[in-house]
Amino acid sequence: RSEFGGPAFEPHITVVGAISLAPEDALAPYPARVTAAARGTFFYQCVFFLIDPIPEVMEASARACNHFGFQSSTPYMPHLSLLYADISDEDKERARQ
């Protein structure tokens, strides 16, 4: 972030989008493994680690979506965001590397 800009944020793996959680709503720990570093096309998915979609990871998202009544128009893509920014594709690739 110091090289490419963008806001500071707590590292996290999103399990359900666009809601606020209270501490008592937290999920139990589950295993997660990084499969690759990737770059995206959205500010909030500028550069991120892809997370292996093992059953435990996918079930955590499904449970959270069901609990909060969240319906997404796109399939769940488990990832851990590293950089939020609007930067060029060349800079995204440098950051990904």
3-state DSSP of 50-68: EECCCHHHHHHHHHHHHHH
Residue 33, class by beta-carbon neighbours within 10 Å (0-12 exposed, 13-18 middle, 19+ buried)?
exposed
Residue 92 phi/psi, 5-degree rounding, is -60, -45
> Is 12 annotated in the active site?
yes
Q: Where are the domains of the chain?
A: 28-96
Q: How confident is the model at residue 12 (pLDDT cuts 50, 70, 90)?
A: confident
pLDDT digits (tens, 9 = 90+) for 43-67: 989 999 999 999 999 998 998 888 8
- Whether residue 20 is predicted with pLDDT greater than 70 in this model: the reply is no
The CATH fold assigned to 28-96 is Cyclic Phosphodiesterase; Chain: A, (3.90.1140)
Stated as kind and residue range, the H or E segment containing 89 is: helix 89-96
Set 15, 64, 78, 79: catalytic member: 79
Q: Residue 21's pLDDT is what? A: 66
CA angle 35, 36, 37 (to 5 degrees): 145
Q: Are 50 and 35 in contact (CB under 8 A)?
A: yes
Set 3, 7, 12, 24: catalytic member: 12
